[in-house]
Amino acid sequence: MRLIKRILVTLLVLLLVLVGASYLLPGKAEVSRSITINAPAEAIFPYVNSMQATEKWSPWLSRDPETKLSYSGPEVGVGNTLNWASDHPQVGTGSQEIVESVENSAVRTALDFGPMGTATASFTLQSEGAETLVTWGFESNLGLNPMSRWMGLMMDKWVGGDYERGLENLKSVVESAT
């Protein structure tokens, strides 16, 4: 009986340490990837300023071709919204709306993953002569949930590869169109 009590107390102390330590972890998860595309910003901007255009290069739609997509709002720019639904765990269900659009320069979107939380994504386009540096960023406020904070440490590993594939896809689409 004493052994069981010691084990339970040890587990409780360990749990409290893990919860307490979570508040020392970052309160935000951030992911960012960049690629240089051999095209001017004006040729790239239409592909990031329209949720419909992202179908051509999205790294997630190939995971589940049966993903249900619907759009609302204007076809480009602020208010353009994508809703998606998939049974595939790496695609899931959610929505993404363009909330800021600066022509040939930047696009910011609001992501809503339902019970999984919210985040923002951004694209910045920086002209470098005949080429453009495209940076795709992601940021999520992790709140005070200890589990979210521990999971935030893995966000770059989980999302970074998808961003790299997406940017490679975008590069291929844009460069083959120009």
With respect to residue 13, please indicate whether it lies within any of the assigned structural domains: no
Q: Tell me whether residue 14 is in a domain.
A: no
Number of domains into which the chain is organized? 1
Q: pLDDT grade, residue 115 (50/70/90)?
A: confident
Residue 6 lies in a domain: no
Which position has the token pair 């790496």? 90
Average pLDDT value for the chain: 92
Say what the pLDDT of residue 108 is. Answer: 98
Burial status of residue 71 (CB atoms within 10 A of its CB: 0-12, 13-18, 19 or more): middle
Range of the domain at 128: 27-177
Inside any domain, residue 141: yes
Residue 137 domain flag: yes
- pTM of the predicted protein model: 0.85
Shortest CA distance to 88 belongs to which of 128, 108, 59, 117? Answer: 59
Distances, alpha carbon 128 to alpha carbons 122, 133, 151, 171, 174, in Å: 19, 7, 36, 15, 16
Is residue 98 a contact partner of residue 80, using CB atoms and an 8 Å limit?
Answer: yes
As given in the structure block, the two tokens for residue 67 are: 């993903």
> C-alpha 168: how far from its chain's center?
16
CATH of the domain at 162: 3.30.530.20
Percent of the chain with pLDDT over 70: 99
**DSSP for 88-139, written as a single string:** STTT-EEEEEEEEEETTTEEEEEEE-GGG-EEEEEEEEEEETTEEEEEEEEE
DSSP state of 85: E
Q: Distances in Å between the alpha carbon of 132 and those of 97, 104, 111, 135?
A: 24, 10, 25, 10
Residue 150 three-state SS? helix
Give 17-71 pLDDT, tens digit per residue: 777 777 777 789 899 999 999 999 999 999 999 999 999 999 988 888 899 999 9
Residue 12 lies in a domain: no
Query: Whats the size of the chain, residue-wise?
Result: 178
Q: Is residue 82 included in any domain, yes or no?
A: yes
Residue bearing the bigger pLDDT, 101 or 18 = 101
Q: Tell me: pLDDT of 131 over 90.
A: yes
- pLDDT recorded at residue 23: 76
Structural domain includes residue 18: no
Residue 111 above 90 pLDDT?
A: yes
